[in-house]
Structure 1
């Protein structure tokens, strides 16, 4: 229990200082991640809604199961207006970009991120597991690649069944 309290303190401390430039300190979602496997679907729905998430139930016609749907936010990372960095600058930005995405995942704000392989205008995606589009936008705009103008962000709401895994 002491380890969890210490982890909470470290995460909260990190949030207070890492988010000072975008104005609002997001809530630490560690409790949600630890609690989800133990909650019933109804309890999980209430827990998510209490944190500000949008949810609804979907009845699967084939199985007749009740599926809890949650709103997520998908960020499309597009080629930005400033792509004139040197190779060394671009490599440095890429390392910072990957560190940012790793941090978003570790803190529970992003569930999945990855690049597209076609070298087109849309460079990649990140799916944010946060209650509002404004929060997803703020987190996405903290990315060093976005701050530099090398990437631009477009965010859309996206619904997915809670608890389902990629396969």
Structure 2
């Protein structure tokens, strides 16, 4: 009898735990973020690589290209197309990443081609489709709350 009682108690505990987890589901937010039943969606990640034409530019020219690169990042963020961006610390061949809020490589490539550093050949990008939490789209707003100064 103790075993039956224990099994019944465990089933009840598991059921209430599962219910508690499901009760936090926000259907409206899931629809707004285009989440699937797992709370996930497809993004496109760009790995930024050192371009082949870096040495063709003077330091002043590269500084201007970098300003355009940063302005482009800010524009993509304002348009809701960029979830996150950032450089790798070592700064070697792999320069950084972008996570685009788009579902196809073609859309990401079109956005990539608006970047002055890509246009100048200072950077190039490898595009990879990535399946991750739809809630990542909330990251830019959260970042604005912790960012003290802009770029």
TM-score, structure 2 normalization: 0.68
Q: Is the 8 A contact 1:83 1:150 kept in 2?
A: yes
Q: Which runs of 4+ in 1 moved over 6 A?
A: none
User: What is the CA deviation profile of residues 117-156 of structure 1, one whole-angstrom value per residue up to 9, with x for unaligned ones?
Assistant: 1021110111000132101111012100000001011000
What's the Cα RMSD here?
2.2
Greater RCO, 1 or 2 (C-alpha within 8 Å, sep 6+): 2
Matched residue, 1:146:
118
- 1:100 CA displacement: 0.3
Give 1:56 shift: 3.6
- Higher helix proportion: 2
Question: For residue 160 of structure 1, what is the aligned residue in structure 2?
Answer: 132
Say if 2:28 is the partner of 1:57. Answer: no
From 112, 118, 124, the equivalent of 2:96 is 124
Larger Rg: 2
- The answer to whether 1:70 aligns with 2:41 is yes
2: CA distance between counterparts of 1:154 and 1:97? 17
Partner of 2:50: 79
TM score, norm. by length of structure 1:
0.62
**In the comparison of the two structures, how many residue pairs are matched?**
113
2:2 is the counterpart of 1:39: no
Q: Which runs of 5+ in 2 are unaligned?
A: 1-25, 143-151
Q: Which runs of 5+ in 1 are unaligned?
A: 1-36, 49-54, 59-67
Q: Which residue of 2 aligns with 1:102?
A: 74
Distance 2:93 2:47 in 1: 10
